[in-house]
Amino acid sequence: MEKLTIICVDDQPEVLNAVARDIGSLSSHCDIEECQSAQECLDLLEELDAEGKPIALVISDHVMPEKNGVQMLTEIASDGRFKTTRLFLLTGLATHQDTIQAINQAGIDQYFEKAWDPDELLAECKRALTRFVFAAGLDYLDYQPVLDAEKTFELVAGRG
Amino acid sequence: MKLKEALRYLLAFGLPIVILCLPLSAFGIEGMTIQEQRVVAIFVMAALCWVLEPIPIYATSVLVIVLELLVLSDKALIFFKSGVEQPDFGVVLNYKDIMATFASPIIMLFLGGFFLAMAATKYRLDVNLARVLLKPFGHKPANVMLGLMVITAIFSMFMSNTATTAMMLAILVPVLSIFSPGDRGKAAFALAIPVAANIGGIGTPIGTPPNAIALKYLTGDNYIGFGEWMSFAVPFVVVMLLIAWFLLKTLFPSQQDKMELAIKGKFLKTPKAIVVYVTFAVTILLWLMGSSHGMNSYTVALIPVAVFSVTKIIGKDDLKNISWDVLWLVSGGFALGLALDKTGLASHAVSAIPFAEFSPLLVIFAVTLLCLLMANFMSHTATANLLMPIVAALAVSMDSLAGFGGTKAILLCVTFAASLGMSLPISTPPNALAHAAGHTTTGDMAKVGAALGAIGVALTFVMVYLMRVVGYV
């Protein structure tokens, strides 16, 4: 079984640590990568994609120096190589306009406000990973401990 | 972890190579040929790959077919054909026969079943039927559980056990959250679904792949039609379900006095949906009518394939969702059986062991228990793939078995046992799904699964005995 990749992006190391800690239980089946800027994340995506790693989820902050989170997520969403990658926005400071772009252009799956509920974040991550595993055509039985059971039932049943 | 992985590969592919390098005399079988030796190597590879799973189980099947083509067939690689004129070379297989396993009539029967199931799911016939059928069972937890089990069993006779389990758990699991945290009743419900799906699969030839594999070896006088199969398998399923229900509600009583399953939706009344309902009903009816209309179950199975393709009920994209892995897994088993049979290895090997001296009852018990044991730890289909060809050859060579129902009896015992292996989360995908829901522990599953496995095998023997008494087998 190949590990899935989750990338967390935030310019504040303490937030990054907190996110990584909250979803730490997924590390049995996922590599959790931390990036401190949008560019670092995009570079990492290139690198991981070249290695053929399954990039399941990007959790990004919005307000960061240089490129902001919504811009970065929009770029990822419009890149055909990452069309199965799920995207979360985790921010305290997004304007109305940014939020609209995040939904319409980046097609984000979840919007979390700082401070987030750790249990909810973890549950949504599991749901996102489940969607990813099915969309990417991986065997769900290999990843069951980090998947959402109910989402799995729905997706397996849908296949008839 | 890495070392374990490497060892699995080494064992699964290394041992067969060692077997290929042995001299023919090392096998202790009189008149062993080179082709037979190659079949032994392929069989050992398949067995190890299916048990240890270094590669996915369907991949093993594909590998079996391709290796047979490259090594055993009349169109094999040139060095495998050198020495073909030597007396100990053995029988060369026809490459067309090997390739034909991909499209064997039994594979087509399954394809028909897949089309029916896909159309039913797409037009929500399954969920809507579940809603209607659940109603009469009321709101008492024990009754609701029986209702869920009955519906799951019926559906898994025509749909894959896995898809049925997933659908029913999707309905059930959200409701379990209203149970109090310590209520053991939750375990009963979570286990009821996979148990009913595994048992229900026994009910029809298309219920689960092991049944189809058995049909492959039930030919000539031993032929069993679709309706005929159901005439003994459905009563078996009913009795097993009642036992399972009683066991679950006794082991894990619920404190809840009322529960309600909310299934939303209405029966679709669009023309396409009506085509689905009619085709579904007609196909099953034709299957039940046996050969009175001139068709057999295999030709009937292709009717829904045609109807749903023509009406675009199953479109191009839906075709991609067909479980080719299941079809190929079964095909590989057929190819393995073909090689064992056509090279003469199966009968050769069986005759090398003095089975005739053993009590036929002992042989039936032994292979059935072996099958049950294997099915608990590995794929049911892979278990059937490995055991059926050998058991079929064994049955033919053992004249004394005739007094106990012969080929039919022993194959049915093995087939039913293959579906009864359900004591661990890894035993079957339905178990894995139910376990993932988190309301049941591995211990609970082991207790219930082992008990039902033992009871089920005993009941199978009773059934075969009764079939013998009425002169059916």
CB contact under 8 A, A160 and B170: no
Nearest chain A residue to B434 by CA: give it.
Answer: A149
List, in sequence order, every beta strand (DSSP E) within chain A.
Answer: 4-9, 30-35, 55-60, 86-91, 110-113
Alpha-carbon gap: B102 to the closest alpha carbon of chain A (Å): 22
CB contact under 8 A, B166 and A153: yes
Helix (H, G, I), strand (E, B) or coil at A34: strand
Using the Cβ of B166 and the Cβ atoms of chain A, whether some distance falls under 8 Å is answered with yes
A159 contacts in chain B (CB < 8 Å): 121, 163, 321, 323
pLDDT at residue number B300: 96
Alpha-carbon gap: B32 to the closest alpha carbon of chain A (Å): 40
Using the Cβ of B56 and the Cβ atoms of chain A, whether some distance falls under 8 Å is answered with yes
Using the Cβ of A137 and the Cβ atoms of chain B, whether some distance falls under 8 Å is answered with no
pLDDT tens for A47-96 read 999 999 999 999 999 989 889 999 999 999 999 999 999 999 998 877 88
Model confidence at A160, in pLDDT bands (50, 70, 90)?
Answer: low
CB proximity list for B66: less than 8 A, separation 6 or greater: none
B115 contacts in chain A (CB < 8 Å): none
CB contact under 8 A, A150 and B432: no
Q: Where are the domains of chain B?
A: 1-97, 105-324
pLDDT tens for A95-115 read 889 999 999 999 999 999 988
CB contact under 8 A, A160 and B162: no
A156 contacts in chain B (CB < 8 Å): 162-163, 166, 433
Nearest chain A residue to B317 by CA: give it.
Answer: A159
CB contact under 8 A, B429 and A149: no
What region does B405 belong to: left with phi over 0, alpha with psi -120 to 50, or beta? left
Using the Cβ of B383 and the Cβ atoms of chain A, whether some distance falls under 8 Å is answered with no
pLDDT at residue number B28: 80
Query: What residue type is B320 in one-letter code?
Result: K
Are A109 and A87 in contact by the 8 Å Cβ rule? The answer is: yes
A154 contacts in chain B (CB < 8 Å): 166, 170
Question: Structure tokens of B32?
Answer: 């062993």
Using the Cβ of B321 and the Cβ atoms of chain A, whether some distance falls under 8 Å is answered with yes
pTM above 0.95, yes or no: no
CB contact under 8 A, A156 and B433: yes
CB contact under 8 A, B166 and A152: yes
Using the Cβ of B429 and the Cβ atoms of chain A, whether some distance falls under 8 Å is answered with yes
What DSSP line would sit under A128-144, residue for residue? HHHHHHHHTT--HHHHG
B119 contacts in chain A (CB < 8 Å): 160
pLDDT at residue number B398: 83
Sign of torsion over alpha carbons B58, A152, A18, A53? positive
* Angle between the N-to-C axes of helices B345-352 and B34-52, in degrees from 0 to 180, rounded to the nearest 10: 90
pLDDT at residue number B446: 97
Nearest chain A residue to B430 by CA: give it.
Answer: A153
In this prediction, the answer to ipTM > 0.85 reads no
CB contact under 8 A, A159 and B432: no
Alpha-carbon gap: B329 to the closest alpha carbon of chain A (Å): 16
Using the Cβ of B173 and the Cβ atoms of chain A, whether some distance falls under 8 Å is answered with yes
Question: Structure tokens of A108?
Answer: 């984000």
Distances (CA, A) of B155 to B192, B412, B435: 14, 22, 20
Query: Mean pLDDT for each 10-residue chunk of chain B (473 residues)?
Result: 87 95 85 92 96 94 97 93 87 95 95 95 93 92 95 96 94 87 90 97 96 94 92 97 97 89 90 96 94 92 97 93 93 96 88 79 93 96 96 86 86 97 95 91 96 97 93 79
Question: Structure tokens of A91?
Answer: 């921010």
pLDDT tens for A23-43 read 999 999 999 999 999 999 999
Alpha-carbon gap: A130 to the closest alpha carbon of chain B (Å): 13
CB contact under 8 A, B121 and A159: yes
Other residues' Cβ atoms within 10 Å of the Cβ of residue B366: 12
Q: In what order do the strands lie in the sheet with A4-9?
A: A30-35, A4-9, A55-60, A86-91, A110-113
- Which domains does chain A show, CATH number per domain? 4-158 (3.40.50.2300)
A146 contacts in chain B (CB < 8 Å): none
B340 phi/psi in degrees, rounded to 5: -60, -40
Nearest chain B residue to A137 by CA: give it.
Answer: B321
Using the Cβ of A123 and the Cβ atoms of chain B, whether some distance falls under 8 Å is answered with no
B167 contacts in chain A (CB < 8 Å): 153, 157
Nearest chain A residue to B56 by CA: give it.
Answer: A139
pLDDT at residue number B1: 59
CB contact under 8 A, A158 and B120: no
Using the Cβ of A158 and the Cβ atoms of chain B, whether some distance falls under 8 Å is answered with yes
Indicate the burial class of B472 (C-beta count within 10 angstroms; 0-12, 13-18, 19 or more).
Answer: middle
CB contact under 8 A, A144 and B118: no
Name the B residues in 253-292 with CB < 8 Å from any A CB: none
CB contact under 8 A, A149 and B437: yes
Chain centre to alpha carbon of residue B165 = 15
CB contact under 8 A, A160 and B118: yes
Pick B163's closest partner by Cβ from A141, A147, A159: A159
